Amino acid sequence: MKCIYWILNTHREVKTIIPLTSHPGNYRKNSGQTRIANRTIRHGTGDVNTKKSSMLLQTSFPKFGFAAGTAKRTAELMKRKAPACQPPERPLLPAEWKDLRESLGNQERFDIQMMNTLFRCGSELNIAKSLLTFVAMEKGTLSYELLLRYLTLCVKSGHDDEVYDIYKIMRGSFPSLDTGASSLFIKSFSRTARWREALEILKEIKQVLTPSPRNYGDIIAAAIHHKDATTAWALYDELIEKGLSPHQETWDALFTGSEQHERLLGVLVYMRNNQLYPQQKVANTIKSWFESLDGQKWTAAWSTATPKGACGCCGSELESIQLSAEEYQELKDRVMNDVIQGRDVFNKTTPEELESFKAFVKRKPAFDVVVDGLNVARINPDKTKQSETLLTVVLELERQAPNILVLGRKHMLRPSKSWDRRNMNLIQQKVHCFFTENISEDDPFLLYATLHSGNHCLFVSRDLMRDHKACLPDDVTRRLFFKWQRGHQLVMSIPCFDTIVQTTGDTWHLPYDDTGDRSTYEVPQRWLCLTKKN
């Protein structure tokens, strides 16, 4: 399979090159596998080889750009530590609470802040009770906010007997409960023999708004635990009908306690259709469920996919990342109608400019690669080298792809420290270019040119297109968009297989999360392989 190499300028030197596996469509140059050793690329006016500009090209192979956990690692390192808290180590008498409050400057919301501290630090329940006693004696009443904080502490700590008492107090003292309190009562009641009372609270929530997936999931788990599969599946169907996505714990409960074979296979189909992945705990439960099926001999193993798109365990070929002709046409029609022609596009782009671009594209041959020029140039934090960065990428792509379109903005044509005129002139000599107004949005132009050119066309951008995917009308189309994006966006090595729950009848392959920090646009790297012996 052919590789296109996208050179990234980092810091003050160009020192990293990311291998980008292309779509299997055939280009007319450099067929076969390309390997680039460390060498020097020169460019300048007139002849590309006249100016010296040494660039270190490293043919390292970084992890797949949509791999789970890539997006959040930096953010995790930046999380602030929770502030140090020093709550009392034992229950206090009212006089002692009063002294503590005075020592802290008689804070206006002392009771609320202290209850928050007790919750945050996991203090013993008796300490929180002594705080309630102090407030009740001093004020003659307990506020809704304080009781809600206390309720949160009880539910988190598993003090379900205490929750019953709070429920009586709040029901008798306040005309209604907010959704926060209702959700906490549902969670607590669902853990006990009084779980059916949670159904009544759920009905109350539905009179005001749509309950959360967690609300449904807590009661579904309780129903499964108490052998009421009818109620569990009725709630699950209601959850799905409302367009909610079940929590992992809900799937885990269903595969643990439900015996309805076809319904559980339907859950796997739902995961597939919505590009959802079980976490490792759920994958383990699914594995155990398959292995326990009477009269069926399923063999389960943990696996990874080979670079050629086969299961590393059973050797089955995984589904291709490429869309079929029918899927591609469906996606193209939806994107053209809902994204390109959508009203949101014209907030930053005029209809006249878009029509002008369409006419431009129509006059040109089908493109092989479309480059988001500004996005690529900004890879280099050194603003004085942005045009040089873009030129380097264009030159490398131009070696392997016959027809390239670079999208930019008109300010890139004005000579400046960022946009060297010689570099920009050379780019325009080498490839097709279209420069939009400075306020225009790039993405609709990029999507239009790429989709108009055909299923072989790739695009280069670091933009993840989340907003445009959200404009699409249904889950199926959004799934097709994500699949197309992962198979065509040159910002990572593109696998030849689709990371999605899939089955052939005698096999199931489930990609699963083995990390807790996967963003929605990333995909797992581990698989559960299930094969049936005949």
Asked, for residue 187, whether it belongs to a domain, the answer is yes
Q: Is the pLDDT of residue 84 over 70?
A: no
Q: Tell me the pLDDT band of 37, cut-offs 50, 70 and 90.
A: very low
- What pLDDT is stored for residue 345 in this prediction? 54
- What pLDDT is stored for residue 1 in this prediction? 27
Q: Is the pLDDT of residue 379 over 90?
A: no
Indicate left, alpha or beta for 528 from its phi (over 0: left) and psi (-120 to 50: alpha).
beta
Tokens of 179: 């959704």
Residues 101-120: pLDDT tens digits?
Answer: 999 888 889 999 999 999 99
- What pLDDT is stored for residue 517 in this prediction? 67
Average pLDDT (257-271) is 94
Whose tokens are 């900004």? That residue is 378
Average pLDDT (290-295) is 92
The answer to whether residues 290 and 300 touch, using CB atoms and an 8 Å cutoff, is yes
Asked, for residue 22, whether it belongs to a domain, the answer is no
Q: Is the pLDDT of residue 269 over 80?
A: yes
Tokens of 105: 């400057």
- What pLDDT is stored for residue 16 in this prediction? 31
Indicate left, alpha or beta for 255 from its phi (over 0: left) and psi (-120 to 50: alpha).
alpha
The domain boundary, picked from 245, 262, 279, lies at 262
Asked, for residue 158, whether it belongs to a domain, the answer is yes
Q: Tell me the pLDDT band of 507, cut-offs 50, 70 and 90.
A: very high
Does 211 share its domain with 278? Answer: no
- What pLDDT is stored for residue 76 in this prediction? 53
Does 389 share its domain with 400? Answer: yes
Does 374 share its domain with 250? Answer: no
CATH of the domain at 185: 1.25.40.10
DSSP per-residue string spanning 346-386: GGTS-HHHHHHHHHHHHHSPPPSEEEEHHHHHTTSS-GGGH
What's the whole-model pTM score? 0.69
Residues 394-417: pLDDT tens digits?
Answer: 998 998 889 999 999 999 999 999
Across the chain, mean pLDDT equals 82
Does 347 share its domain with 429? Answer: yes
Asked, for residue 17, whether it belongs to a domain, the answer is no
- What pLDDT is stored for residue 344 in this prediction? 55
Q: Is the pLDDT of residue 261 over 90?
A: yes
Query: Which contacts of 200-205 are long-range, i.e. CB under 8 A and separated by 24 or more positions?
Result: 201/177, 204/177, 205/179
- What pLDDT is stored for residue 31 in this prediction? 34
Does 389 share its domain with 352? Answer: yes
Does 341 share its domain with 430? Answer: yes
Does 255 share its domain with 267? Answer: no
Alpha carbon separation from 81 to 64, 85, 86, 118, 501 (Å, rounded): 31, 12, 15, 17, 38
Asked, for residue 47, whether it belongs to a domain, the answer is no
Coil, strand or helix at 278: coil
Q: How many domains does the chain have?
A: 3
The answer to whether residues 177 and 144 touch, using CB atoms and an 8 Å cutoff, is no
Containing H/E element for 510? strand 507-512
Does 127 share its domain with 204? Answer: yes
State which residues form the domain around 519: 263-317+495-533
Residues 317-330: pLDDT tens digits?
Answer: 999 988 999 999 99
**Among 141-155, 375-389, 476-490, the range of highest mean pLDDT:** 141-155
- What pLDDT is stored for residue 316 in this prediction? 95
Q: Is the pLDDT of residue 213 over 80?
A: yes
Q: Is the pLDDT of residue 202 over 80?
A: yes
Q: Tell me the pLDDT band of 340, cut-offs 50, 70 and 90.
A: confident
If one compares 288 and 464, the residue with the highest pLDDT of the two is: 288
Does 222 share its domain with 355? Answer: no
One-letter amino acid at 370 equals: V
Q: Which phi and psi angles does 362 have, rounded to 5°? A: -65, -30
The domain boundary, picked from 225, 242, 262, lies at 262
Does 147 share its domain with 198? Answer: yes
Does 273 share its domain with 257? Answer: no
